[in-house]
């Protein structure tokens, strides 16, 4: 898989899915409302919200593995996030050269192909499914920070009335079916009072279009930060799974929060052209 292919497939995790340090599992001490025989919804939501990370700006190293039916590829890079402002995912070849970048802000999404000097920049409203459902920057922010959320919330912590509680063979779940055209289901980790999996589906009873799972956590100060994320979804002719391993997480605000594009060197391509390229590469 060449550089352009894994850059575009990486971008498809955020675009097409919407259309369609030492790590350890952290335990908890004391009273755990999620483990109670008759858990209280208010207590559960308060407990999960209490674990929201307070650090406003972080940097981390990443290793990304992307798998499809046609094969897989691995690439390193970095993750930089500033709460309510920006998410930057940089892909680096051979530990030396940035070959691609994904930048999400409240105003736009941008994918940069450094190898071919191309970029795509669009608003969330430019993508019909995102605009129709309310999936936006704050949705992705909550996914990367491992938080409970509802759509169209501007990053505010949700309240218990946003959810209903469902206990079944998969464990304790919170379901939000009030969002436009999409149902959110959160599977909770009873040991550490964190979200273990977030599912997006068109209706509550349907199979998820997108699953965002957390399999490990690492420490950021005395709080818990995701150490491994597994993102999976289905394209028309293929299944895509991305595993994002995160390490060396630390507070840092000394980085540029916006990427400047030299338009003398880079060519902007349309969203439709980028989609067509992604689809052709994924077949």
pLDDT for the residue 145: 97
Residue 231: Cβ-neighbour burial (10 angstroms; 0-12, 13-18, 19+): buried
pLDDT for the residue 128: 77
Query: What is the Cα–Cα distance from 212 to 280, expressed in whole angstroms?
Result: 24
* HEC string for 126-157: HCHHHHHHCCCHHHHHHHHHCCCCCCCCCCCC
Q: Which residues of the chain have pLDDT under 50?
A: 1-4, 6, 14-30, 281-282
pLDDT for the residue 70: 77
pLDDT for the residue 24: 35
Query: What is the Cα–Cα distance from 143 to 235, expressed in whole angstroms?
Result: 20
pLDDT for the residue 47: 92
CATH of residue 14's domain is 2.50.20.10
pLDDT for the residue 35: 53
Query: What is the Cα–Cα distance from 232 to 242, expressed in whole angstroms?
Result: 6
DSSP state string for 187-221: EEETTTTEEEEEEEESSTTSPPSEEEEEEEEEEET
Query: What is the Cα–Cα distance from 14 to 183, expressed in whole angstroms?
Result: 18
pTM of the model: 0.86
Query: What is the Cα–Cα distance from 189 to 86, expressed in whole angstroms?
Result: 27
pLDDT for the residue 275: 63
Length of the chain in residues, anyone? 283
pLDDT for the residue 68: 78
- Provide the number of structural domains found in the chain: 1
Full domain range(s) for residue 120 = 3-282
Mean pLDDT in the chain? 82
């Amino acid at each position: 898989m060449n550089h352009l292919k894994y850059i575009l497939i990486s971008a498809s995790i955020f675009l097409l899915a919407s259309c369609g340090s030492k790590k350890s599992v952290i335990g908890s001490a004391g009273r755990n409302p999620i483990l109670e025989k008759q858990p209280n919804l208010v207590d559960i939501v308060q407990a999960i919200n209490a674990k929201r990370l307070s650090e406003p700006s972080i940097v981390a190293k990443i290793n990304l593995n992307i798998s499809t039916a046609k094969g897989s590829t691995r690439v390193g890079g970095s993750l930089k996030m500033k709460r309510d402002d920006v998410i930057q995912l940089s892909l680096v070849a051979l530990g030396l050269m940035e070959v691609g970048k994904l930048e999400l802000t409240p105003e736009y999404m941008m994918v940069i192909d450094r190898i071919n000097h191309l970029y795509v920049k669009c608003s969330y409203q430019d993508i019909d499914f995102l605009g129709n459902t309310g999936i936006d920057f704050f949705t992705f922010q909550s996914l990367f920070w491992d938080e409970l959320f509802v759509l169209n919330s501007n990053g505010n912590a949700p309240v218990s009335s946003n959810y209903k509680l469902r206990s079944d063979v998969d464990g304790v779940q919170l379901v939000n079916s009030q969002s436009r055209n999409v149902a959110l289901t959160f599977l909770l980790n009873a040991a550490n009072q964190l979200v273990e999996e977030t599912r997006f589906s068109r209706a509550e009873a349907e199979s998820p279009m997108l699953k965002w799972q957390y399999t490990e956590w690492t420490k950021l100060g005395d709080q818990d930060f995701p150490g491994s994320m597994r993102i999976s979804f289905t394209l028309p002719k293929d299944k895509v799974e991305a595993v994002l391993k995160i390490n060396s997480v630390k507070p840092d605000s000394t980085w540029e929060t916006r990427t400047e594009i030299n338009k003398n060197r880079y060519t902007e391509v349309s969203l439709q052209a980028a989609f067509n390229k992604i689809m052709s590469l994924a077949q």
